[in-house]
Chain A
Amino acid sequence: DTAVSQTPKYLVTQMGNDKSIKCEQNLGHDTMYWYKQDSKKFLKIMFSYNNKELIINETVPNRFSPKSPDKAHLNLHINSLELGDSAVYFCASSQGTGGPYEQYFGPGTRLTVT
């Protein structure tokens, strides 16, 4: 059973388009995250939701909008895509918001904007 799944795995689109990435976890966790990994493998947190409530919102352009319809899902919608948005986006989940709780990562979505 896949713990954290993301769709699609690859996404190729043109500048100016709007796209969404979906994430689902079947671990019963109450906290979910979106990370961006750039071409140099650097990982940076973008957003975090706890029980469907936004708790972390890093300095991310407002073209990016997360949506959590329930505790098991966290989707990422991106408007007006730009070349600089090309990256691998990872979803993750954890049992709690702090302390020693491990984060479980999805396989990633490679977004290429042309």
Chain B
Amino acid sequence: GNSVTQMEGPVTLSEEAFLTINCTYTATGYPSLFWYVQYPGEGLQLLLKATKADDKGSNKGFEATYRKETTSFHLEKGSVQVSDSAVYFCALRADYKLSFGAGTTVTVRA
């Protein structure tokens, strides 16, 4: 079946540090890949997506590249801010369903 494995948290960083959250997936066919972000007390928002191999999704300084050869979609940001504190979910879409990773809680300290 389809599944997503995500780096376990929590992750605590200082402002302006580099953030990377690892995500690997198992799927048949060619899924679309997504990163969603959930701020405290809110629903999920799409952060970025990639629909085919070697696509790079980017938004708000975050980037992730769809790597078919390593079945990965790692999230990176070069310089985090306190406002980036949230839970980040990697997800894949296949067979009409969105399958989520377990989520990674990121806390950025001033």
A97-B44 contact, Cβ under 8 Å, with A41-B103, A42-B103, A43-B103: no
- Bitwise interface map of A from 72 to 114 toward B, beta carbon under 8 Å scored 1, else 0: 0000000000000000001010000111111111111000000
Q: Which A6-34 residues have C-beta < 8 A from chain B?
A: 33
Instruction: Give bound CA distance, A103 to B51, whole Å.
Output: 14
Instruction: Give bound CA distance, A29 to B39, whole Å.
Output: 24
Q: Is the CB of A56 within 8 A of B43?
A: no
Least Cβ distance of B40 to chain A in Å?
A: 11
Instruction: Give bound CA distance, A106 to B34, whole Å.
Output: 17
Task: Select A100's contact among B42, B49, B95, beta carbons within 8 Å.
Answer: B49
Q: Is the CB of A107 within 8 A of B49?
A: no
Task: Select B46's contact among A44, A56, A97, A102, beta carbons within 8 Å.
Answer: A102
Cβ-based interface call for B45 (8 A) = yes
Q: Is the CB of B45 within 8 A of A45?
A: no
Contact partners of B93 in chain A: CB under 8 A: 98-101
A–B pairs, 25, beta carbons within 8 Å: A33-B98, A40-B102, A41-B38, A41-B103, A41-B105, A42-B103, A43-B44, A43-B103, A44-B100, A45-B99, A48-B97, A56-B97, A90-B43, A92-B44, A98-B95, A100-B32, A100-B49, A100-B51, A102-B34, A102-B46, A102-B49, A104-B46, A105-B36, A107-B42, A107-B43
A residues whose Cβ falls under 8 Å from a Cβ of B: 4, 33, 40-45, 48, 55-56, 90, 92, 97-108
